[in-house]
Amino acid sequence: MREVTMKKAILFKSASDDYVKAFTDCNYEVIFVEPLQFKYINTEELKEKLQQKYDGLILTSPRAIEAVSKCWDPSKFVSWNARKTYTVGDVSRQKITLMLGLEALGATSGNAENLAKLICNENPKSSKFLFPCGNLRSETLPNTLESAELSVDAVVAYETVENENLQQELVELNESEEEPYCLVFFSPSGCEYVHRRLKTFSNKLSSIPHFAIGNSTAHKIENFGVDIAGVAARPKPDSVVEAVQNYFTALTEGR
């Protein structure tokens, strides 16, 4: 029986069983490379803010959820059970329930822009939201809310920096005898750190098809002069794999 060779997909994110299964089911070997490291800051300020009166809480990244969990006290924050919590993606929704005991809205919105529209539609003007975020946050959500006369209190709860092992991991991938089939990026900052490092040495990785988890990440990749092979319709494993499969199917049929 002929052995099936698995194609190698490089995912620039932390390891995830869901992504391993989705890619493995489609005959891809998954290699995770985490381009980012996170440092949690302003914990006391965030804890103080959580004790104040807001109409809702906005958590658009797993790191923001983790930052809140570090100062979360269920006995002091019971009032949050009656307030609205918003997020993007089912993984984040589950994380909020597990770590904070809250039910989150907006998980199926797909991206920050759609989430902002949802929040504007569901809340009256002058509503005030607490927005724990990172130092590299996009201004799309707060700008959209503020233009609709909703108030956003942003607290920088974590800093994003480059993973100290990124250069070494990229060099090892580049020297691998088996060339990767595709590269998948999951954040604008991750894309920036990876391409900044790739510019420091001659490599074959820059010419391999690039895929993005969403439009913001895709635009960042294009800013580096690299064409986008595909963008996931939703920030979910099956949607990412679908984007990859669609590209290579079209490529094969076009030969």
Q: Collapse the DSSP code of 39 into the 3-class scheme (helix H, G, I; strand E, B; otherwise coil) and give the result.
A: strand
Specify whether 155 is located in the same domain as 243.
no
108: DSSP letter: G
Specify whether 150 is located in the same domain as 54.
yes
Domain-terminating residue out of 110, 136, 159: 159
Domain-terminating residue out of 138, 159, 180: 159
In a domain, 19, yes or no: yes
Total domains present in the chain:
2
Specify whether 95 is located in the same domain as 132.
yes
In a domain, 2, yes or no: no
Q: Which residues fall within 8 angstroms of residue 42, CB to CB, at 6 or more apart?
A: 155, 156, 157
pLDDT digits 0-9 by tens, 61-96? 899 999 999 999 988 899 999 999 999 988 899 999
Domain that holds residue 97: 39-159
Specify whether 89 is located in the same domain as 196.
no
Specify whether 132 is located in the same domain as 210.
no
Residue 145 belongs to a domain with what CATH number? 3.40.50.10090
What residue ranges in the chain does DSSP mark as E strands? Answer: 7-12, 28-32, 36-40, 56-59, 84-87, 104-105, 128-134, 151-162, 182-185, 210-212, 228-231
Query: Which has more pLDDT, 255 or 144?
Result: 144
What average pLDDT is seen over the chain?
93
Output the pLDDT for position 1. Answer: 40
In a domain, 1, yes or no: no
Specify whether 154 is located in the same domain as 55.
yes
Specify whether 143 is located in the same domain as 180.
no
Output the pLDDT for position 255. Answer: 53
Specify whether 132 is located in the same domain as 206.
no
Specify whether 27 is located in the same domain as 56.
no
Specify whether 88 is located in the same domain as 200.
no
- pLDDT, average across residues 114-122: 96
Output the pLDDT for position 5. Answer: 67
